[in-house]
Amino acid sequence: MSDAFSGLEQRLQQAITALAATTQLIDTALSTLKSRTMDGDRVSAAKLDEHQLASYELSVSWSECTAARFLSAHAQQLAARSVSANALTIQLANLFCADAITNTLNRLRACPADYGMTHADIATDALVEEFLSGQLAAQNIAAIGQGILERDGDLGPDLLSEYHTIMRDTFRRFSDDVVAPLAESIHREDLIVPDAILEPLKEMGMFGLSIPAKYGGLQDDDKEDTLGMIVVTEELSRGSIGAAGSLITRPEILARALLKGGTEEQKQHWLPQLAVGNPLCAVAVTEPNYGSDVAGVRLKATRAEGGWTLNGAKTWCTFGGKAGLLLVLARTDPDMALGHRGLSIFLLEKPSSDGHNFEVLSDMGGKLSGRAIATIGYRGMHSFELFFDNFFVPEANMLGGAGGEGKGFYYAMAGFSGGRIQTAARAVGVMRAAFEKSLSYSKDRVVFGKPIAQYQLTQVKLARMASLILACRQITYEVAYLMDSGAGDMEASAAKLFAGRAAEWLTREALQIHGGMGYAEETPVSRYFADARVLSIFEGAEETLALKVIGRSLVENAD
């Protein structure tokens, strides 16, 4: 083993030690926040809202440090193999840990009193300072960037199983050969996803990735395969999140909800159809005044002979026109004081439509109409506003049957946990696409007599882009394993929060590397930049995740 490789391992151990110390600071701050927000023997939501900035910053820091923890563990596995080709990945892990630690320390140091600390409490020892200054030195980061250029963007082994490697490579080829050539026209002309993409994906079984084999899917009956869903999502998103990478999100959510609460008859009826993408499906949960606050849903479901009538509006129903089946969350108990306990899910069948507007008349009376919302990015699937006017849904289409009344919130949440980790995978795909284009462009673009890849600032940008991709990828992979063992919901939210923010920064830097051409629609990075912006909004806005999911859970579980 070379001295250089041994030095990398030593710095990796320093990174792990420094990360542990930083995590301890987060834990201390969370304990303080808990003591300030207790009401009797419980954390008060109202009191916690009085400390939103501290809660938000701690959630972001915890998410970033969790990604660093998973990436450093991955680097340890590679270091144990003592292969020089793994050196770059270890360097990137060390760099990311240094950035994550520094970002956390800066958040705490901005106002220590908010966390019950002093500047002295946040001071780091000499060994940590030496590690940070060494990793964050411009010369070190630029050298990592140069290594990335020399390896043409190869960021090292991902340690996937042979099965998942084959799956990844299969969908990567499809993304390169089919999705990417169509992505620009779909985006610029605001087209619906064409059959040229949909039909091959149906044949490849993509829509059945989250459905057990006994119901016609590709997943083993006795265990979930979240990682398989993630690697497929990542590769398709690399081609386009709007035209391919998000196609599995809605079947994933609906399948999980069905598996959680559906009757056996409903599972036998719907899951085999979802597995082959016939019908395609959409999710109608968000309302004009109620987005992440799902418990506030007001779409009214009223009992009628043989079923229910729906009245009200939904918004941001992605693929709502093309879909032949809608998951609709509605209020079956008019008492708003019941909150989420008064909600139920209906499976609403409708004709598929490729247009930007549609109207459906129920045989039993009532009307459902939809209007596509114009968006700056994430085009291809079209997001709809839906209007229900006494639209009839049969009794048999309530998820869970009569026993499912009032349980819709819980069934929906079972689906959304998968949606959040999948969103992190979508972010990784977009980041990889932007990174690959930036790498290529930086080698070709000559400014002041030499390619911009030869300038230090470009090399620093590429190094940080690469470290973010690795960190976001590793947290999604590790959370997949956790979810398959029945855990990981908190980490899934953290992965979504962190990856969404990372994708926005990375695609901004990719556009900047391209300069004026990056701002032109004819260059794919302008699409990546527009698409990345939605990642921090849908499947749980970052503020809601940070304050109401991650932050609250961290505070409640603090010592």
The catalytic residue positions are 539
CB hemisphere CA count around 421 (13 angstroms): 34
Contact 408, 218 (CB under 8 A): no
Cα angle 260, 261, 263; round to 5 = 120
Distance of CA 427 to the CA centre of its chain: 6
Paired residues of 300 in beta bridges: 311, 331
The H or E element containing residue 185 is: helix 180-188
How far apart CA 200 and CA 132 sit, in angstroms, is: 49
How far apart CA 547 and CA 60 sit, in angstroms, is: 10
Residue 190, burial from CB neighbour count under 10 angstroms (0-12, 13-18, 19+): middle
Helix (H, G, I), strand (E, B) or coil at 109: helix
Nearest to 285 by CA among 205, 345, 342: 345
Nearest to 249 by CA among 232, 261, 265, 263: 232
Residue 470 token pair: 């690795």
Residue 519 token pair: 């701002």
Contact 135, 98 (CB under 8 A): yes
Burial annotation 10-32 (CB, 10 A radius, 16+ → b, else e): ebbebbbebbeebbebbebbbeb
Cα angle 37, 107, 30; round to 5 = 30
Strand 300-304, strand 307-318: pairing = antiparallel
Residue 355's φ and ψ, nearest 5 degrees, are -80, 175
How far apart CA 511 and CA 527 sit, in angstroms, is: 10
Paired residues of 450 in beta bridges: 447
First to last CA, the chain: 43
How far apart CA 14 and CA 7 sit, in angstroms, is: 11
Distance of CA 352 to the CA centre of its chain: 27
The H or E element containing residue 24 is: helix 3-37
DSSP one-letter string for 278-337: SS-EEEE--BTTBSS-GGG---EEEEETTEEEEEEEEEEEETTTT-SEEEEEEESS--GG
Residues with Cβ within 8 Å of 416's Cβ and at least 6 positions away in sequence, in order, are 253, 539, 540
Contact 284, 317 (CB under 8 A): yes
